[in-house]
Every structure is written in structure tokens, then in C-alpha cells.
Structure 1
Amino acid sequence: MSADISVDNNSMIRSEHNATQRVLYCTKVFFKRLIARKPMDILQAEIDTRNELRRDLNWIQLLGIGLGATIGAGIFVLSGQAAAQYSGPSIIISFVITGVIALLASLSYSELGSMMPSSGSVYTYTHAALGEYLAWFIGWNTGLLYLFGVLTVTVAWSKHVAMFVDIVSDYNVTNMTVQAPVAWDEEKERFFVTGQAINLPAIGITIAITILLLIQIRQTAIVNLVLVVFKIIIILIFIFACCNYVNRENYNPFFPPNKGSFDEYGVTGMLQACTYIFFAYVFG
């Protein structure tokens, strides 16, 4: 009887040991896959064996795409909000700090792009440096980042179109379909019901740009270059036309006194404004 019990106990112990070994093995394989990096020689071999994408853009068009991503709704809208709510005149320093950070990021992308000239962008770079899991995670986050960036830009564009139509005509579109049913109130920090159904201008510009992208990259780059030149001309006209209206007294104090919270003026408010300016740099 005791011998049978001993055999059963030994069998149970071996079963538990085998189960533990399988769990440990699966866990080891799982974490090994998470941090598995793609060596540069394998990546280079894949690049050499694949058919390269056709290079349709010249350096002027590429420069236009970069400027178009920087000079856009973010600069025209967010910079004013950041100055009014957070930094005051010290937003000049916010632009300088953010510009240096954006420059370092662009130099990093340039270096990585020359080292690994393959499609995939940040996913490929992360896969080679940090592993497959982080590459998957960062790749999806980048997609979500651009999704919300596009949403922000299209909504800002829609508001400006509505304001322009209201100014130049008697047709009041502000009270029509220019907002989503639910919007975010920055002052009260909560969502509220707008009473409107849909943001038609934002949807319209998104569809139009999507169709333009589907036609051909060269035509898209030409349209972008024309718009960039137009925006630069507008900015230069605005700067030179408003030079005589600059009131130097508005720059004093350069750092408005902090009002008790981190993001309300002062040096910390200037740093808070950097986040808005960086968003404007990246997404226009």
C-alpha cells in the first residue's frame, strides 16, 4: 500500500516538474522572441534582395514635404494658444528649445535612414536595435500618433474655413456642421455635447487629400510644394506688414509671473509651451 502511494507521489512530482519545465521553456521562448533583434547583416541582405522602391521625388520636393509638415495648422493655431495660455512672450525661447530638439530628432532619423534604407521607418530601426516586441509596440503607436495628428490638423483647418466663410459672406456656417457631436472643453477639462452632427469640412479635406495621395506621389509632392510656397509667402507678408504694429511693452515681463500651477506662465509655463510647439513642428 505504501509502495503504491510512493509511486503515485513520484508520478505526481514528475508531472508537476514536467509541467513547470514546459512553462519555463515557453516563457523563455516568449521573452526571447520579445527581445529578438534583427542583425544588420540580415537586414542588409533583405534590402539587397528586395526590389527597391522607385525614387520619384527630388530634393526640392522632399524639402517641400518637410516644410509642409512643419508650417501648417499647428504653427498657425497652437503657437498662439501656447503663448496666450502658458508662456507669454517667452514662447520665443520655447521655439528655440523645441527647434533644437526637433533638429536632433531629424538628424537621428537621417542617420538611421542612411544606415537602413528600407521601408518600415521607426519599426525597422527599433527591430534592429531593441527587439521585435518594442518594434511592434512603437510601430502601432506611431500609427496612432499620426492618426490623432491628422485629426487635430483637419479639425483646426475646418474651424478656420468656417471662420473665413463667416467673415467674407453672410452665410453662417459656424452653427452648422463644423463640429463633431462631442468635443473636449479645455477650460473645464471635460467632454461636452456640441449639438451638431458631423464635421463636414474636416471629412471633406481628409477625403480630398486621400484621393490626391492615391493618384501618384509625384503629383502629390507638386501640390504640396505649391501650398508650401503659398504659406511661406503669407507668413512673410504677415511678418513685414505687422512690423510697425509691434508693441515692445508687450514683451515686459518676458516671463510673466507664475500663477501657482506648473503650466501657467513663468519658466515652467515656457516649458509647457514647448510641448505644443513640438506638436506643431511634427504635425504642422
Structure 2
Amino acid sequence: MFLGRVKPLDAILATAEKKSLHRSLGAFQLTLLGIGAVIGTGIFVLTAEAAQKAGPAMMISFVIAGFVCAVAALCYSELAAMVPVSGSAYTYTYAVMGELLAWMVGWALILEYAVGASAVAVGWSGYFVGLLKSWGINFPTALAVGPSQGGILNLPAVGIALLVTGLLIIGTKESARFTSALVLVKVVALSIFVILTFPVLNGAHFEPFIPNGWGTYGVVGAAASIFFAYVGFDAVSTAAEETINPQRNVPIGLIGSLLFCTVFYLLVAAGAIGAMGADPVRDAAGHVLAPGSAELAAQCKAVVAGGMTEPLTCSKEALAHVLRTIGYERIGDLMGVAAFIALPSVVLMMMFGQTRIFFVMARDGLLPERLSDVHPKFRTPHIVTAFTGIVVTLAAAFLPVGKLADYSNSGTLFAFAMVALAVLILRRKDPSRKRPFRTPAVAIIAPMAIIGCIGLYLFLPTLAKLVLIIWGAVGLLIYFGYSRSRSHVGRGIIEVPELAADAPKSVGVPPMPGAPAPGSDAERD
């Protein structure tokens, strides 16, 4: 029976035993690692999307999304500490729930990483175009947005996606010091934003606080989209093997970093709302317009053409737009520069995660093994990287950031729900297995994570939910038509991929501050 095809956990754990990492990270280092991995894309890019759905109540949305991330992260940590090898949730599921579900999780992670990278590329494009406009250079609208927003294609997003693809193939390394500087740039930029906006807060801008209710285009729907702003927290989980006293320090690092980021996000959201308001844009009949829709784009143009200030919900560079609106034109430009500098590294990390999931699945025989070929000179998985780059580029060229983030979230939520389920199953199936970190109150935390992930998924827009279903159906066709008959486990070939000689030594990804270097056992895949 296909559900019985599991990759032996003992064989996987042999990797960790032979390549164990030095335990050196404490609670403080883990917290900083989590902050560096989380803060960035979502808060820079999705603030306008959240405001269009929830209005001022997007502050509640940040709390909801952060809570779901916290309980999911605690489950993730148990498996990450037990199975600290490449493959992330895909590997965990393979060891616990079998090949079919592992395939589905890996397939969903491909959706998360590739589409997520496209979303960041489009978000970067918004800040790039806004920065040029502030400097008196008007980038053609037809080449700045996709068809749904009145353009032809998003040329800047295409450019950054192709550039990152090239860097990943060549394997050019950035130093950890430079990566740490990027984290500092993000934190300083957002701190300046809070400092400048709080003195001009207007309490009237917070009313009505919940203009659209709690549905798909309301508070919970905004939380489902904002979930993207927290992706990256599992960097703390995957560093469990390097952690001193992981049972104590991993939850401190996880909860500490998520709590810090949530509070920080709330401060930024309060500053944006209080400074210029966050009223959703509506049509003539008073109906809320869907983020990323042609109707919203047309209404935003009409508002600006009428001589009014562009609403927060219309901006593609929300934080820079707020600062310029309240009189800080040049500092708004600096906010744009901060996003311009920092966001490409997020594109790079997401594309790297995508290629590594592809690589491990190909090494297991579930995808053509040709995809796992390593470039003889650069020592990078160049074929799968090029393929990933093409997919990311096409999505970034034609789709708006909000829709891309929702599509990515659908895959992420499915994968995290499977991880929480795997923790529960493994507790019953193998209770005596050594667990360097145990999820506290697992009978409560794991079901909360599963329910939370399913709940947010149900509040995604209909198209985003259908994307996961259609993507999953395509995945099943590939599995039963190709992968099942070629699976190494199905053919009785048991191997530990991370010990193979032809594994890529580096794909040129800068490690996150305090994080294991790319290619190490504890990397975030």
C-alpha cells in the first residue's frame, strides 16, 4: 500500500549522527535569527493588501497570523530537532506518514517557494518603480504591472528574477556580514518609519475599526494573506541541532522572535493607519474591491486623477508612500532604497529553498534524476535552478503581488498542517524515540496548529484555494503516472541523500545571521 512506503527514520537520522553540528546557539542568537528571517517582504509589500481587506483591523490580522505561526513553529521544531537533515517538511512527512503524503507536501512546498519568490520580486518592483518616480523618472505603467492591473508585464520583476537565477547558477557568495547588514537595514528602516509616523497619528483614521467584517475580505482573510509576512520563522526550527539546550532555547527563540516581529508589525501598521488612514477602496455601489483586481486599479487611478492623494490601499510601495504623504519625501526615498537593497536577498533565499526541495525529491527518484545534476564547474543544481527561474519569472511578469502571496500561502499552510499531524502520529507510533525538543502540551498545540492552518486556508480567496487543489491534482497525476514506479524507496533502494558525493556544495546563498550555511544539515530548505 502506498501509504506504507516510508523512508526509514533510522536511515535518515544516520545523516545527523555522521554529520552532527556543534551546539553553540543560545536563546538570544535564535531570537535574532528568527527576526532576521521573518522581517522583510510581507511588511514592506503586503501592508496595502491587508488594509484593503481589513482596514485598521489589519492589526488584529497580524496577531492572528502570528499566533498560527507560533503553534505551527513549535510542532516544526520537534521534527526539525529529530530529523535535522535536508528536505524540510518533505523529509519529515516521508519518515512518518509515507511517500504519497510526502510527495504532496514536497509538491506544496514547491508552490510555496517558487510563487513566494515571484511575490517578493513583484513587491521589489513596486518599490523600484516608486523610487524612480520620486526621482522624476516615470517608468511606463505598461511595463511596471501585469495585465490584471492595466499593464502588459512587470519588467522590473522579470529582471530581478532572472538576475537571482543567474546568481544561483553561478554560485556567487555574499558574506554573512553583508547579510547581517541587510537585516540591520530592514530593522532600522522600519524603526525610523515608526518614529516618524507616531507623532502625527490621527485617532479618526482608526474608525471604523472593522469596516469589512471578519470574512474572506475582512480581518481573517487579511490574516490569511499576511501569513506570508511571517514565512521564514522555521529558520529557528531547523537550527535546533545547533542549539544549546534546545528544549529550553528553541521555544524561547521561536516565541521571542515571533512576538518581537508581531509587536513590530503592529507598530508599523499603527503608524501607517494613523498617519494617512487605511480605508478600503470601494466601487460606486459601496462594495469592497478585491486586491490586485483590474477594478481596484481603475478606481485608484480615478481617485488620483481627481486630485486626491493616492490611498494607502492603492500603493505598491506602501511604507515609502506614507512617509512621502506626511512630508518626508527624501526619507520615503530611503525607505524605498532599503526595500530595493533588502528584498532581492529574500527572492534568492526562496528560490534556493525551491531548488533544494526539487533536488532532494529528484534524488529520491520521485522527479527525473536529471534535475539533480550538478554543474561541473559551479557545483550548483543548474538544471533545476534554471527551470525554477523560468517559472518564477513568468509568474512575476503577469500576476499581482497579493495574488501571488495568497497562492504561496496555500502551499505553506498545507505543509505546516502536515508537519503538525506528523508530530501527533510519531508521538503515538514511536513514543520512545529520542527528541532533543518536545512540543509542549502537544495534544493541544498540534491540533491548534492544524485547525489554525486549515482555518486560514479556508479564508483565502477562492482562486487561491483552487490553485492548491489544482496544483495537488496535477501532482497526483505526476506521482501515479511517473514517480511511484521510479521511487527509490518503492524499488528497495534506501539511501541517505545528504551523504552522496554529488550533492551540491553551495548554491551561493548567503546564510541568515547566525544560521547554518547553505548546504549544511540544518539549513532552511
**Equivalent residue for 2:118, pick from 140, 143, 151:** 151
Letter in 1 for 2:230: Y
8 Å contact kept, 1:87–1:256? yes
Percent identity of equivalent pairs: 38
8 Å contact kept, 1:86–1:272? yes
Q: What SS class does the counterpart of residue 148 from structure 2 fall into?
A: strand
Unaligned residue ranges in structure 2 (runs of 5+)? 233-345, 347-525
Distance 2:20 2:155 in 1: 35
TM-score by length of 2: 0.39
**Equivalent residue for 2:69, pick from 74, 92, 102:** 102
Aligned to 1:78: 46
Aligned to 1:127: 94
Aligned to 2:9: 40
8 Å contact kept, 1:33–1:132? yes
**The 10-residue stretch of structure 1 (101-110 or 130-139) with the greater mean CA deviation from structure 2:** 101-110
Unaligned residue ranges in structure 1 (runs of 5+)? 1-31, 186-192
Q: 1:77: how far off?
A: 2.5
Is 2:104 the partner of 1:137?
Answer: yes
Q: 1:201: how far off?
A: 2.0
Aligned to 2:139: 173
Q: 1:206: how far off?
A: 2.6
Aligned to 2:172: 215
1:12-51: CA deviations, max 9, x gaps?
A: xxxxxxxxxxxxxxxxxxxx233322343233235445xx
Distance 1:176 1:111 in 2: 48
8 Å contact kept, 2:54–2:212? no
Larger Rg: 1
8 Å contact kept, 2:2–2:100? yes
**Equivalent residue for 1:274, pick from 203, 223, 231:** 223
Distance 1:201 1:158 in 2: 5
Distance 1:235 1:108 in 2: 30
Q: 1:252: how far off?
A: 3.0
8 Å contact kept, 2:61–2:222? yes
Letter in 1 for 2:215: F
Distance 1:204 1:54 in 2: 38
Q: 1:107: how far off?
A: 2.2
Q: CA RMSD in A?
A: 3.0
Letter in 2 for 1:237: I
1:209-232: CA deviations, max 9, x gaps?
A: 44555223xx35433321111111
1:67-114: CA deviations, max 9, x gaps?
A: 34422232122123212x222222211111111111222222222111
CA pair 257-123 structure 1, distance change in 2 beyond 3 A: closer
Q: What SS class does the counterpart of residue 184 from structure 1 fall into?
A: helix
8 Å contact kept, 2:54–2:210? yes
8 Å contact kept, 1:61–1:225? no
Is 2:161 the partner of 1:206?
Answer: yes
Q: 1:280: how far off?
A: 2.0
8 Å contact kept, 2:79–2:92? yes
Q: What SS class does the counterpart of residue 254 from structure 1 fall into?
A: coil
Q: What SS class does the counterpart of residue 241 from structure 1 fall into?
A: helix
Distance 1:212 1:143 in 2: 20
8 Å contact kept, 2:53–2:212? no
Q: 1:65: how far off?
A: 6.0
8 Å contact kept, 1:154–1:202? yes
Letter in 1 for 2:97: L
- The count of residues paired between Structure 1 and Structure 2 equals 229
Aligned to 1:184: 148
